[in-house]
Amino acid sequence: MECRFCQLRKERVKIVYEDQWVSLFFDMDPISKGHALVIPNEHYLDIDDVPDPVLEQIWKCAKVYVNLLKHYFKPAGYSLMQNGGAFNDIGHFHLHVFPRHSSEEFAWTYTEEVDPTATDFRALRDLLQQPLSQAMAAESM
Ligand SMILES: [Zn+2]
């Protein structure tokens, strides 16, 4: 059986950004509005499986995305998180990128109510898709 993220890449409709190495899409169960995942297009489990040029592009995408989050959502800060081995629940490397606001206490298991607009993925995609592609293209120059 194919992994969820390899499947999602085939569906394409949920992808916010993609290039030949990486894809970015929204976490379906967001910790905060704008919570995204950056993945290598190829299936790798852990950071030490991912080739360096792909890792470089993952970090570049995370950097560009953080910059957009600051611009659009004015968070107090942000977090990057990556779980490996048995703690990689999908089995496909993914880097979490999410904005954090000073009013939120972050915990991986959370019960607080999340901003309902955080799951309006269509609106988020409309807002962020084009600037992200433009910023990634500018980074590559
Ligand atoms: Zn996969």
Q: What per-residue confidence (pLDDT) applies to 109?
A: 53
How many angstroms is it from 43 CA to the middle of ligand 1? 4
**Residue 65 contacts residue 46 (beta carbons within 8 Å):** no
Kindly report the CATH number assigned to the domain that includes residue 108. Answer: 3.30.428.10
Q: What per-residue confidence (pLDDT) applies to 48?
A: 95
Q: What per-residue confidence (pLDDT) applies to 12?
A: 80
Range of the domain at 115: 4-139
How many angstroms is it from 70 CA to the middle of ligand 1? 29
How many angstroms is it from 36 CA to the middle of ligand 1? 17
Number of domains in the chain: 1
Distance CA 117, CA 80 (A): 21
Q: What per-residue confidence (pLDDT) applies to 140?
A: 75
How many angstroms is it from 113 CA to the middle of ligand 1? 30
How many angstroms is it from 85 CA to the middle of ligand 1? 14
How many angstroms is it from 45 CA to the middle of ligand 1? 8
How many angstroms is it from 15 CA to the middle of ligand 1? 14
Q: Please give the backbone phi and psi of residue 83, each rounded to the nearest 5 degrees, phi first.
A: -105, 135
How many angstroms is it from 27 CA to the middle of ligand 1? 15
Q: What per-residue confidence (pLDDT) applies to 110?
A: 53
How many angstroms is it from 114 CA to the middle of ligand 1? 28
Distance CA 64, CA 114 (A): 24
Query: pLDDT tens track of the chain, all 141 residues?
Result: 789 999 999 888 789 999 999 999 999 989 889 999 999 999 999 999 999 999 999 999 999 999 999 999 999 999 999 999 999 989 999 999 999 987 765 665 555 566 788 889 999 999 999 999 999 999 876
